[in-house]
Amino acid sequence: MTEHPARRLLLVHAHPDDESINNGATMARYAAEGAQVTLVTCTLGERGEVIPPELAHLSGAALGQWRLGELRAAMRALGVTDFRLLGGAGRYGDSGMMGLPDNDDPHCFWQADLDEAAGHLVRVILEIRPQVLVTYDDNGGYGHPDHIQAHRVALRAAELAAGAGWEIPRICFNRVPRPVAEAAFARLEGDLPGLPFDKSAAVDDVPGVVGEERVAIEIDGTAYAAAKAAAMRAHATQIEVAEPYFALSNALAQPLFTTEYYEVVHGERTEGRAHDLFAGIEATA
C-alpha cells in the first residue's frame, strides 16, 4: 500500500493564478509543515487578459503555455511540488467570461461533460486520499463559468470517489468574512494615493465574501505573506502586486489577504473557529 503523508490537502482551481490569490498562504504553510499539498488546475486560462504591454501579443495556446510557466514559478514560491492539470495539459480550454460566445466553444471547460471531467479528478482523489478538499462555492466565487464548473466537478468527483472507496472527510469553500473585507478596503482608501493604482475595487468584487458566522476555519498566513506575494507576482500576465495590495487587469486595487478563510460544507465543524484545516481529522488514514 502507498505510504501517505499524515495530512493531505487537495485544491481545485479554474485557472493559473486563482490558487495564489485565494490560498497562497495556506498552501505555503502546509507545504512547509510537510503536508501533501496537491493542486489541480482545470484550464490554462488561455482567454485571460494580459497586463504587461510587452506580453500583450500572447493569446490562445501561446498564452496558455506562458501561464503554465507562471504556475510553475508560483508553485516554486509556495514550496508546492504536486500540481496537475485536469485531464492533462490542454484537455479543457478557458471558457471566457459569462455570457460571451467563448462559452459555446465545445472544447471549453464550461461545455465539459460533468462526469467525464469529474472522472479525471476522481483518479487524483483515489491516489492521494485527501482529508481536505478546497474549492469555490456554487457561484464560483464571482460567477465565472470556469469557476462554477470547477465547483461542480470538485463536488461530483468527491461524490464519485466516496462510492469508489475514499470519502473526503472535510470539504471547504474559499471565503472572506465581510467585516474583514470592509476593514481592509477602508485601509486601502487611505493608502490609495501612494499606490500605482488609480482606483479601488469594492468589497463585493472580492470572491466569496460572506457573514462571519459562515466562516469555520481561519488560517493565519502572516509567516507566509512573502511567499504568497511572490507567487502572485509570478502570475505577471494576470496580477500586479503592490503589497499589501494588488490589481487584476481591470487595474482596480484590492487587498492582498494573508489570513485566509474557509467555510466547511462537508464534514464536522469544530467548536468555535478553527485555525487548522485538519482540526479534528488528523487521525484519518
Q: Specify binding-site residues for Zn(2+).
A: 15, 18, 147
| Residue 56, Cβ density class (10 Å: 0-12 exposed, 13-18 middle, ≥19 buried) | exposed
In this structure, the number of other CB atoms found within 10 A of the CB of residue 284 comes to 18
| Residue 241, Cβ density class (10 Å: 0-12 exposed, 13-18 middle, ≥19 buried) | buried
The binding site consists of 15, 18, 147
Calculated CA dihedral for residues 156, 160, 165, 170, nearest 10 degrees: 10
- Cα–Cα dist 169/143, whole Å: 27
In this structure, the number of other CB atoms found within 10 A of the CB of residue 143 comes to 12
HEC string of 173-234 equals EEEEEHHHHHHHHHHHHHHHHHCCCCEECCHHHCCCEECHHHCCEEEECHHHHHHHHHHHHH
| 22, three cell numbers | 485565494
What is the C-alpha radius of gyration for the chain, rounded to an integer number of angstroms? Answer: 18
* One-letter amino acid for residue 164 of the chain: A
